[in-house]
Amino acid sequence: MIAKSFAKSLHADALTALSKRLRKSHPNYAYIRDELMQKIAGDLGEEVVMKELENLKLPYKFFIFHNLSLYSENSFQMDILLISPYFALILEVKNISGEIEILTNPSILVRTKPNGEKNTYKSPIPQLEEYIYQLSQIFKRHKINLPIFGAVTFAFARSYVKSAPTDTVFLLSNEVRKFIRGIKTTKPILSEDQLEKLKNWILNNNKEYNSFPLSKHYSINPLDIITGVECPTCTFIGMKKVIRNWTCPKCRNFSKLAHEQTIKDYFLIYKETINNQECRRFFHLQDKHDATRILKNANLIVTGKSRKTEYTMNLLK
């Protein structure tokens, strides 16, 4: 069964906000757009593979997790993990279309598009090997003798693996269930109780890596970020506050709740804390009571009193 179901990563939301609010003339703009595209493609690929796994049936108990960040010798992040009484399996999901060559020494993945254009990416093999090693150290500490397998899984059939080392398993998403059913099982290593305990340990120890605000993560000067409330109708940034409403100078639409996304954007990409003055600046407000109202109604964590009041958002709930 699915112990942790598919969820779009917050990092994708944050990159979306950043690519909307970063000036197009910024030297990192193209890089951020590229990161966003890769993240969206990655999330889509993981969703497709998780869909396949929702229908997995096995004659023994098992748990599947999407997107786990665990800490062993260091933090590591697995796209998909399956645990069972017989084995554990890590799936490293790739959504890269075109002709793919996995080269070693140095390890890179080369993709050739139908028009002949080539791109290089990190090879998934050392990544997968590292995750297997890190998970094996966790198992060792808990005296769990479960063998750990790994497979690189391409989400879509438009990926064609032309050449790859033969000692790594490469799958297409529609082969995943068959591959898992084919893993040999003789004697269970964990009892159902032990498996349940391991599942709970994993869920309790999953801590999403906090890369927010992204301006810090990508070393972007917050002053290069476009401020203002985004219009939910036409995406123009810079709505004007009128009584009980926001109005868009571009498309003339009104919105009562447009500031809600802007608050989230602020914490995802701009700064960890906000005070009244920063709120007025970011939301283009004249009146400090408007800012107070917005901050008080946003379900934020409050620290300090009166003039020193600051607010922060718990992004990784």
Which positions lie near Zn ion, rule CB under 5 A? Answer: 231, 233-234, 236, 248, 250-251
Q: Which is nearer to Zn ion, 9 or 233 (CB)?
A: 233
Q: Which is nearer to Zn ion, 56 or 237 (CB)?
A: 237
Indicate the SS3 state at residue 274. Answer: strand
What is the closest distance, in whole angstroms, from the C-beta atom of residue 265 to Zn ion in the complex?
A: 16
Cβ 260 to Zn ion shortest distance, Å = 16
Write down the least CB distance from residue 237 to Zn ion, Å. Answer: 10
Structure tokens at 186: 């003789």
- Choose between 190 and 258: whose C-beta lies nearer to Zn ion: 258
CB of 222 or CB of 238, closer to Zn ion: 238
Supply the DSSP string of 48-90, one letter for each residue: HHHHHHHT---SS--EEEEEEEEESSSEEEEEEEEE-SS-EEE
- Please, are residues 95 and 44 in contact by the beta-carbon 8 Å criterion? yes
| 3-state DSSP assignment of residue 227 | coil
Encode 203-217: b = buried (16+ Cβ within 10 Å), e = exposed.
Answer: eeebebeeebbbbee
**CB 247 to Zn ion: min, Å:** 9
- Residue 149 or 236 with smaller CB distance to Zn ion: 236
Residues 220 and 242 sit within 8 Å (Cβ to Cβ): no
CB of 248 to Zn ion, least distance (A): 3
